[in-house]
Amino acid sequence: MESILVLTHTDESGSALTKTSLEAVTAGRDLSAKLGTPLSVGMVGGNISAADAIASTKARILAVTGEAFTHPRYASDAAACEALCRTAKATLILVSAGSRFARVAAGVAHRLGGCVDTHITSINVDGAFTVSRWFYRQRIESTLTRASRPWFLLLDAGTHAAFAGEPASAQVEQIAVTLPALRTRITGLRSPAQDAQTIRPDARLLFVAGAGWTKKQPDGQTHTSEAGNLILDFLRATGASLGSSKSLVDQGGEGQTVLPFLTHMNQVGQTGSTPRHPKGLSTCCHGEEPHVVGWRFIGDRRAISLDPNCGWTRGKADVVYIADAFKVMQKINELLAHTQP
C-alpha cells in the first residue's frame, strides 16, 4: 500500500508556510483521499506554530524546526528532508517545487535510494497511479508511472490551489536532526526593492513587452526611454509581472538601445519561461509561435499590435487591439492614476 509524505517549508519569517508548500498540501490531501492511504506532512522551518495552518488536514505532522532551518541552505535542508522521509517511511513524497526544495530533492531521493521526477502538473489515480508533466517547452504532455519507491514528485507551482483550512493548534512530532559540518553561514538577507523586481509569479497579470517598443515609430524616431517609462508606470500601478519577447532581450547583446530593466530572465517562450497567470497583455510583440508557446498557461490573452496580420490576430489571442501601444498604454496609465487610492 502507498503512503504519502508532503514536504513543506516556512517562508523567510519562519512563521508561515510558503504558498507552494500549501499547494503541495492540497495535492497530498486529495491524493490521500483518492488512494485511501495515510498522509504525513513534513515541515522544515523556524517556528513550529506554522503547522497550525494545516492542522485541519488531520495529517500526521512531523517538523524539523529551529534557527538552523529558517533559511535555505543545501546541507541543512537536505539533512532535514532526509530525516523527515526516514521517519515517515512514505512511498510517495510530494515536494513543493520552489527554489528551496527543488535544489535538494534529487540529493535526498538519492540518499534514500529512491527516484525523482520534476515539473509534475497533475497526479492521476485512475486504475493505475500515474503523474503528468510537459516536455519540449509544453508541446508534449506525458503521463508516466514508476515502480521504484520512494518516488519524489516535485509539483509545479500554480497547479494546485493553496490549502486554506481553518487554523488550529497542531499536534506536531519534532524530529531531531544531526547536522553535518556546515560550510555556508547565513549572515543576513538582501532583496531588491519591490519595484525593482519585475518577475512576479503570483501576479494576476503578465505584461509582455516586444521588440516593437524600441523600433522606429511613425515619426521615424525611436522612443526607448518613453517606452521604458510607460512600461514601468504600468507595472507600478498594477503589480503585473513583466515578460519579454526574445528579440527584445537579445538586443542588449547586439549593442542596440535597450530597456535597462529587462534581462533574459524575463523572456517568455520556447527558450524562455512558461509562466502561469490568469491574464496576459502583450504589447509591441508579433506573437510568433516560439514566443506564444510560452503562453500555454495564461488564461485570458490580449495583445496590442500595429500589425493586423500578426500572429496574435491569427488565433493566438482572445482579443487583439490593432493600435499604437504607446498611445494605448499612455491612456491606460492615465486611467490607472485616477483609480489609485
Ligand X SMILES: Cc1cc2nc3c(=O)[nH]c(=O)nc-3n(C[C@H](O)[C@H](O)[C@H](O)COP(=O)(O)OP(=O)(O)OC[C@H]3O[C@@H](n4cnc5c(N)ncnc54)[C@H](O)[C@@H]3O)c2cc1C
Nearest distance in Å: CB 232, ligand X: 17
Nearest distance in Å: CB 20, ligand X: 24
Non-local (6+) Cβ contacts of 221 within 8 A are none
Is the omega angle on the peptide bond into residue 72 within 30 degrees of 0, that is, cis? no
Nearest distance in Å: CB 291, ligand X: 3
Q: How far apart are CA 244 and CA 248, in angstroms?
A: 7
Nearest distance in Å: CB 104, ligand X: 28
Return the residues of window 9-28 that contact ligand X according to CB under 6 A.
Answer: none
Residue 69 or 297: the one with the smaller Cβ distance to ligand X is 297
Under the binding rule (CB under 6 A), the answer on residue 210 touching ligand X is: yes
Residue 46 or 275: the one with the smaller Cβ distance to ligand X is 275
- Which of 55, 248, 259, 320: binder of ligand X (CB under 6 A)? 248
- Which of 247, 266, 274, 333: binder of ligand X (CB under 6 A)? 247
Nearest distance in Å: CB 142, ligand X: 21
φ and ψ of 250, to 5 deg: -70, -25
Nearest distance in Å: CB 320, ligand X: 11
φ and ψ of 286, to 5 deg: -80, -20
Residue 75 or 328: the one with the smaller Cβ distance to ligand X is 328
Number of chain residues interacting with ligand X (CB under 6 A): 30
Under the binding rule (CB under 6 A), the answer on residue 97 touching ligand X is: no
- Three-class SS of the chain: CCCEEEEEEECCCCCCECHHHHHHHHHHHHHHHHHCCCEEEEEEECCHHHHHHHHHHCCEEEEEECHHHCCCCHHHHHHHHHHHHHHHCCCEEEEECCHHHHHHHHHHHHHCCCEEEEEEEEEEEECEEEEEEEECCCCEEEEECCCCCCEEEEECCCCCCCCCCCCCCCCEEECCCCCCCCCCCCCCCCCCCHHHCCCCCCCCEEEEECHHHHCCCCCCCCCHHHHHHHHHHHHHHHCCEEEECHHHHHHHHHCCCCCCCCCHHHEECCCCECCCEEEEEEECCCCCHHHHHHHCCEEEEEEEECCCCCHHHHCCCCEEEECCHHHHHHHHHHHHHHHCC
Return the residues of window 123-152 that contact ligand X according to CB under 6 A.
Answer: none
x/- map, 216-235, ligand X, by CB under 6 A: -x------------------
Considering only the stretches 72-80, 165-173, 174-182, 209-217, report the one whose residues sit in contact with ligand X under the rule CB under 6 A.
209-217
Under the binding rule (CB under 6 A), the answer on residue 57 touching ligand X is: no
- Which of 66, 72, 212, 275: binder of ligand X (CB under 6 A)? 212
- Which of 130, 307, 318, 336: binder of ligand X (CB under 6 A)? 307
Residue 10 or 305: the one with the smaller Cβ distance to ligand X is 305
Under the binding rule (CB under 6 A), the answer on residue 211 touching ligand X is: yes
x/- map, 267-306, ligand X, by CB under 6 A: xxxxxx-----------xxx-x-xx--x---------xxx
Instruction: List interacting residues with ligand X (CB under 6 A).
Output: 210-212, 215, 217, 245-248, 267-272, 284-286, 288, 290-291, 294, 304-307, 310, 324-326
